Amino acid sequence: MTHDVIRHLLDDYVTGDLPEDARAPVADHVATCAACSAEVDSLRRILARASELPAAIEPPAEAWSNIREAILRDEKAVATPIDRVAMFRRRPMVMGAAAAILVAVLSSTVTAIYLNSRQPSGVTTVRVADATPATLAAFTIEENNYLRTAAALQDVLDQQESVLAPETVAQLKASLRTIDEAILEARNALARDPSNKLLVEMLSANYKQKVDLLRRSTEMTRGT
Amino acid sequence: MAAMLAFPLASPLAAQKKIERRMPLGMEGAFRVMNMVGSVVVHGWAKDTVLIRGTIGPGDQFYAGGGYTGAKMFIESADQRDPKPANLEIWVPSRARVWVKTATANIDVDGVEGGLDLYVVSGTVDVTGSPRELNAEAIDGDIHVTGSPAWLRAKSASGSITLRGGSSDAGISTVSGAVKVDGGSFERTKIETVTGNVSFAGQVDRSGTFDFDTHSGAIDIAIPDKTNASFSVVTIAGSIANNINRARPTAGRFGRGSELTTDAGDGGAKVSVRTFKGSVTLRRTVVKP
């Protein structure tokens, strides 16, 4: 089996889902391939971290008042979203570490979103990152999350870009530009009209589109 | 999952142009296919067997294996940088859950009543029939569905999405691709684009919820004469044309844009339309018997 084939089997190899007769060739390859070995290590770390996560977290009683205070503090010190992105870009080490953690967290978050989206109608579930914030202050926090998530996913996609056909990369970049333009337009409108909840919802929807497209693209380029 | 991925790598058929393989698979078993380039055609049939026929490039290898509850196949290209097309025709138990992933290969499916998970980067997805669940994702490929999947999720970026049929739970999303939904009956429906135009013509269940969201894409909604629905249409900078009754749009509640709140019939289905600057048209259509 070649590297590209084995690459697609690493998930099963790490989780133990690969049958015994397929494990040996994969193990032999991993022992000699630095990239696959690193991928296996990374997958094992993610699994280890995921296993440490609690099944549910009950927020403490004072959570909402603390969040409110944080929002008010954040509003006073808030930089523009573009400034915050620039700040991250100026600190590649921080960005790299954040990306690694985010990718680990995202894998479970995205899975939760995915599983949530596949619930049939009428089934009530906890919605993950799907509710539109009711206020601009709440949205500012969510916007930070979108920006960080999108930046982390974009980094992953940039690393995997070579596996896509050039014309697909061009189309993908054009689609991301289209979303960015819509975000900018809605953001400017919101700056002029900060009490407009509809604009908050529209902006939020645009961010969701961007994160979803980046997520799908990274998953498709990654293989199975 | 483990059962589905049970994967005794069957003997590779090296350097052969034609392939053919039969494998037992339960009527509700799971089958996974990965073929990066070429085409994948999947037919549902009333046998607890998978039959794979096709042609693969010289030197390419065909792997397939699994058990009665789950099986998997893929093509390994001899030249990973320039993979040759593999054209596959596959028959699966009609109630099976089928997962297909390709890069530039087109996917055609018909007659599968179980679940479908279809992923392409730039190929097209064509589904005919009414699977219980259909999840289709593309980056710049088109997605066409002819039938009425009970549960449908279809996403593309620049590709268009067309549904000729209905669904009790549909979610459709594109960035710039057009969305055209035509002809069936719908309950819970969500369609969103950024710049892609949306055209919806169908019967809306009076207990259903319908959400249409675009940034600049035009939204055209056509409903039959006897529809009972409540419309809430909001734009920031777009226009609203209401041709279903005499209600006229008013100035937006936030001091900009325009809004329209109106009922068709006795009200019922909740239809929400929101766009930043796309035009919105509501109109009547006649459902052909």
SS3 B78: coil
Closest CB from A18, A167, A175 relative to B176: A175
- DSSP label at A133? P
Which residues of B fall within a CB distance of 8 Å from A212?
155, 173
Closest CB from A1, A120, A172 relative to B157: A172
Q: Give the DSSP H or E segment for B201.
A: strand B198-214
Tokens 């400017």 correspond to what residue? A188
Is A6 or A132 the better-scoring residue by pLDDT? A6
Do B99 and B166 have their domain in common? no
Asked whether residue A131 carries a pLDDT value surpassing 90, the answer given is no
pLDDT bin (cut points 50, 70, 90) of residue A182 is: very high
- What domain count does chain B have? 2
Q: What is the mean pLDDT of chain A?
A: 71
Residues belonging to chain B: 289
The separation between CA B57 and the C-alpha centre of its own chain, rounded to angstroms, equals: 30
Q: Name residue B210's beta-bridge partners.
A: B189, B271
Structure tokens at B278: 């796309």
Do B29 and B77 have their domain in common? yes
Buried b (16+ CB within 10 A) or exposed e, A30-60: beeeeebeebbeebeebeeeeeeeeeeeeee
Which residues of A fall within a CB distance of 8 Å from B8?
19, 21-22
Q: Which of B208, B213, B209, B191 is nearest to B200 (CA)?
A: B191
SS3 B271: strand
Is A110 or A163 the better-scoring residue by pLDDT? A163
Tell me the one-letter amino acid at B142.
D
Q: Is residue B128 in a domain? A: no
Concatenate the DSSP letters of all residues of A32-58 into one string: H-HHHHHHHHHHHHHHHHHHHS-S--P
Tokens 């940034």 correspond to what residue? B215
Q: What is the mean pLDDT of residues A1-21?
A: 75
Residue A199 dihedral angles phi and psi, to the nearest 5° = -65, -35
Do B150 and B276 have their domain in common? yes
Which of B123, B150, B181 marks a domain boundary?
Answer: B123
The separation between CA A203 and the C-alpha centre of its own chain, rounded to angstroms, equals: 18
Look up the domain containing B160 and give its range.
140-289
d(CA B223, CA B189): 14
Do B39 and B88 have their domain in common? yes
Closest CB from A19, A175, A220 relative to B6: A19
Residue A110 dihedral angles phi and psi, to the nearest 5° = -65, -40
Asked whether residue A1 carries a pLDDT value surpassing 90, the answer given is no
Is the CB of B194 inside 8 Å of chain A's CB atoms?
yes
> Please, what is the Cα angle at B289 between B282 and B266, to 5 degrees?
45
Per-residue confidence (pLDDT) for residue A143, from 0 to 100: 86
Asked whether residue A73 carries a pLDDT value surpassing 70, the answer given is no
Taking only the tens place, the pLDDT of each residue in B86-137 is: 999 999 999 999 999 998 889 999 999 999 999 999 889 999 999 999 999 9
Do B153 and B220 have their domain in common? yes
Q: What is the mean pLDDT of residues A176-180?
A: 95
Taking a C-beta distance cutoff of 8 angstroms, is the pair B94, B47 a contact?
Answer: no
Structure tokens at A57: 């977290």
Taking a C-beta distance cutoff of 8 angstroms, is the pair A202, B276 a contact?
Answer: yes
Do B107 and B158 have their domain in common? no
Asked whether residue A70 carries a pLDDT value surpassing 50, the answer given is yes
Per-residue confidence (pLDDT) for residue B137, from 0 to 100: 95
In 10 A of CB B286, how many CB atoms?
Answer: 8
In 10 A of CB A117, how many CB atoms?
Answer: 15
Which residues of A fall within a CB distance of 8 Å from B187?
121
SS3 B250: strand
Interface size, chain A vs chain B, as Cβ–Cβ contacts under 8 Å: 131
Q: What is the mean pLDDT of residues B220-246?
A: 94
Tokens 């290590």 correspond to what residue? A41
Which residues of B fall within a CB distance of 8 Å from A9?
7
Asked whether residue A95 carries a pLDDT value surpassing 70, the answer given is no
Which residues of A fall within a CB distance of 8 Å from B188?
121
d(CA B25, CA B22): 9
Concatenate the DSSP letters of all residues of B60-103 into one string: -EEEEEE-SSEEEEEEE-SSTTSPPPEEEEEEEETT-EEEEE-S
Task: Give Cα separations from B126 to B55, B92, B119 (angstroms).
Answer: 21, 17, 11
Tell me the one-letter amino acid at B79.
D
Q: Give the DSSP H or E segment for A159.
A: helix A136-160
Is the CB of B209 inside 8 Å of chain A's CB atoms?
no
Do B111 and B57 have their domain in common? yes
Is the CB of B255 inside 8 Å of chain A's CB atoms?
yes
Which of B75, B98, B123 marks a domain boundary?
Answer: B123
Taking a C-beta distance cutoff of 8 angstroms, is the pair A136, A197 a contact?
Answer: no
Instruction: Report the gap between the CA of A44 and the closest CA in chain B (Å).
Output: 18
Taking only the tens place, the pLDDT of each residue in A137-146 is: 777 888 888 8
Which residues of A fall within a CB distance of 8 Å from B195?
178, 182
Complex ipTM: 0.85
* Cβ contacts of A70 within 8 Å, gap of 6 or more: none
Asked whether residue A53 carries a pLDDT value surpassing 50, the answer given is yes
Tell me the one-letter amino acid at A199.
L
- DSSP label at B157? S
Do B151 and B17 have their domain in common? no
Return the domain boundaries, chain A: 1-52, 65-222
pLDDT bin (cut points 50, 70, 90) of residue A127 is: very low
Q: Is B139 close to A212, i.e. CB distance below 8 A?
A: no
Per-residue confidence (pLDDT) for residue B76, from 0 to 100: 86
d(CA B70, CA B6): 7
Which of B93, B123, B153 marks a domain boundary?
Answer: B123
Is the CB of B10 inside 8 Å of chain A's CB atoms?
no
Do B259 and B284 have their domain in common? yes
Q: Is residue B65 in a domain? A: yes
Do B117 and B169 have their domain in common? no
Per-residue confidence (pLDDT) for residue A114, from 0 to 100: 37
